[in-house]
Amino acid sequence: MRGAEELVACPACRAPLSAEWGCTGCGALYLETEGVLNLRLPSDDRTEVVRRFYETAPFPGYPPSETLETLHLRADRSPFSRLLDRAIPADARVVDVGCGSGQMCLYLAHADRVIIGADVARASLRLGAAAAFRFGLDRVQFVETDLRQPGLMARAFDVVYSSGVLHHTADPRAAFAQLVPLARPGGIIVLGLYHWLARLPTRARRVLGRLSGFRFLPGDPILADRATDPARRTAWLRDQYQHPEEHRHSFPEVRRWFNEERVTYLRSYPSVMWDDEPDDLFSPAADHWVLERWLRQVGWMGTLGREGGLFFMVGRRA
């Protein structure tokens, strides 16, 4: 893919790669097959469990007869997706760490952006690469790699996006420390994690699911929407209710991560302030009261909790 060789690196020595995917440092040669560049070194045991989990049921998958137009229509239903797309410059270099089957990569792949989609699960990446080929998108490169030893160039990306991934790693805090160096100085980091309160409705449904052999999961709108698409319904059920590794986080906890890694906090999504509807996702939010912040987070149980409890924190690398 055009421009990708400047954004990927040897996972062993972190040296740049040539246009033929050879390491300019240690001489290792990496292969690209089915549109996926293999830059993954052997994983530790816990990462391997997660990788095998997604190899069995790639997430989130594509509906039958998906087109680029229908993908954009679905993504545009999300106010967050629209804000993210609007905030990213037209010529930005973007990495989606833990991209799964790459829907966000394909959604953002327009104008002169160069997009790297990285994940440990090759089965998911193959779906993304096949869709990019069908849609004629030639500025998206899918890379099989592990965040512990990423085949991604440090300080190379204008935007580092990682949604719903770090909370499935053995040590989310350590994984965040690996994520930050990928952004250039002044680059943006967008981090999506399960919120400990907003995740409670899903955890309650999980109890009912286990008691019923996962035949009874009331109140999940995503499962209801995918009732006629068994493959994608199974992928969501497994990801939300049967995952072997899951962590949950709070706003103050992630704010500390930002401070410790010299990432300037800009805002959260949803906002922890009342009546804060941003036009620019990358603009700094005003100060908030502690009580206001906690009341807002409690309210997320009834909003974010319907679809898994994912919230976002946005920051700028020093």
Encode pLDDT of 227-251 as tens digits: 888 888 888 889 899 999 999 999 9
Domain count, the chain: 1
Q: How confident is the model at residue 2 (pLDDT cuts 50, 70, 90)?
A: low
Taken in order 264, 86, 141, 105, the sign of the CA dihedral is: positive
pLDDT digits (tens, 9 = 90+) for 140-150: 999 999 999 99
Q: Residue 153: which of 5, 28, 312 has the closest Cα?
A: 5
The token duo for 34 is 């089915």
On the question of pLDDT at 61 being above 90, the answer is no
Q: Is the pLDDT of residue 5 over 70?
A: yes
Residue 249's closest CA among 160, 166, 162? 166
Q: Is the pTM of this model over 0.85?
A: yes
User: Is it the case that residue 217 has pLDDT exceeding 80?
Assistant: yes
Matching residue, tokens 């995952």: 243
Structure confidence at residue 1 (pLDDT): 65
Segment 84-106 shows an average pLDDT of 97
* 97 in Cβ contact with 31 (< 8 Å): no
**What is the CATH classification number for the domain harbouring 200?**
3.40.50.150
| 205/217 Cα distance (integer angstroms) | 6
HSE at residue 306, side-chain half, CA atoms within 13 A, is 8
- What does R_g of the chain's alpha carbons equal in angstroms? 19
DSSP 200-226: HHHHHHHHHHHHTTTS--TT-HHHHHT
Given phi > 0 = left and psi -120 to 50 = alpha, else beta, which region is 236? alpha
Mean pLDDT of 129-133: 96
pLDDT digits (tens, 9 = 90+) for 253-297: 999 999 999 999 999 999 999 888 888 999 999 887 889 999 999
Q: What is the mean pLDDT of the chain?
A: 93
> What range does the domain containing 211 cover?
4-317
pLDDT score for 226: 87
pLDDT at position 9: 97
Given this model, what pLDDT does residue 87 score? 98
Do residues 136 and 164 make contact, with C-beta atoms less than 8 angstroms apart?
A: no
